[in-house]
Chains A and B, each alone.
Chain A
Amino acid sequence: MTTLYFLDAAEFTDVSAVAAAQPGARVERLPGYVAVTADGPLIVDRRATGVRHSVWYSALAAVGHGRVVQYDKDALKVEPTP
């Protein structure tokens, strides 16, 4: 089970929303953060978020039980770790 944490700030709202829109993803609002959890890989399409590069590359605040296998101009992909 992998959890992506995004800072609960206006510039990251579209990123966390795209992450949360995946089938099977669950969203939880924590103090200061939006946490998106899934049993399988989590993939965020950068173009779907519509955010500028500076926001995109600073959007990921934390990763619980996952490994970032892609984080580039196309997508963020995080796979679960045992």
Chain B
Amino acid sequence: MTSPTAQLREQEAAPRGTSSHPVRGINHMAFPTFDPAGTIHFYRDVLGLPVVQTMQVKAWGPEYQRDFVHFFFDIGNADCLAFFYYFGQEPYHDENVPPLLDLGRHVALHVDTVEDLDGFQKRIEDAGLKLDMRVMHETVESIYVRDPNGILIEIARPLRELAAADAVDAEVTAQALLDVVASDGEPTLDALWARKAELIASRVPA
């Protein structure tokens, strides 16, 4: 297959967390909530993540805007998970999200050790909440729980440090994916595997 996209940017491949760009993590990611009491209880009291910033705002701007409270939970590294509670807003829940897409949309928090992970599992279970699952993935071990808003929260601890090989493979895979989705054929995993093999072979000095 002829690559319709750019050459592999191998020179930019760097292990996760070592890139030279100026972004320093997540300032905050925000979700609406219709259950502020449950949300504060879950994050602050069950998980132990303090509320570190709030703002109460009189509606202004577009006519659909409402008075709201915006509150932020500390999730480490100066990052925050934030929620909006809009006064008077009718609750909305999308009941039609396919299960696969529902699982694919989640927030993963990082902890360093298995003891940390065990500690969060205990906090969740001691609160009478059900752990969705505990899974040994490829490079992380994770627990999953639903927050009161239905957001799937993953807490993950690393099983090993990521290395240069991971970053190289990420670049190769991304390029192969770009090529596969740009090709005329149906994008499939088989096509991705084949394209990756071509890219890997092209990187090896003859």
Same complex for A and B? Answer yes
Q: Which residues does A use to contact B, with CB under 8 Å?
A: 3, 5, 7-11, 30-33, 35, 52, 54-55, 58, 60-65, 67-68
Type the 1/0 row for B143-174, where 1 means its CB is closer than 8 Å to any CB of A: 00000000000000001100111101100110
| B193 partner, pick from A30, A31, A63, beta carbons under 8 A | A63
> How far is B198's CA from A54's CA once the two chains are assembled, in angstroms?
25
Residues of B within 8 A of A30 (CB): 200, 203-204
Q: Which residue of A lies closest to B197 (CB)?
A: A64
Question: A70 CB to closest chain B CB, in angstroms?
Answer: 13
Residues of B within 8 A of A54 (CB): 135-138
Q: Which residues does B use to contact A, with CB under 8 Å?
A: 135-139, 159-160, 163-166, 168-169, 172-173, 176, 190, 193-194, 196-201, 203-204
Contact B168 A31 (CB under 8 A): yes
Contact B197 A52 (CB under 8 A): no
Contact A31 B137 (CB under 8 A): no
Residues of A within 8 A of B176 (CB): 62
Question: B142 CB to closest chain A CB, in angstroms?
Answer: 10
Contact B169 A32 (CB under 8 A): yes
| B197 partner, pick from A5, A8, A55, beta carbons under 8 A | A5
> How far is B176's CA from A35's CA once the two chains are assembled, in angstroms?
18
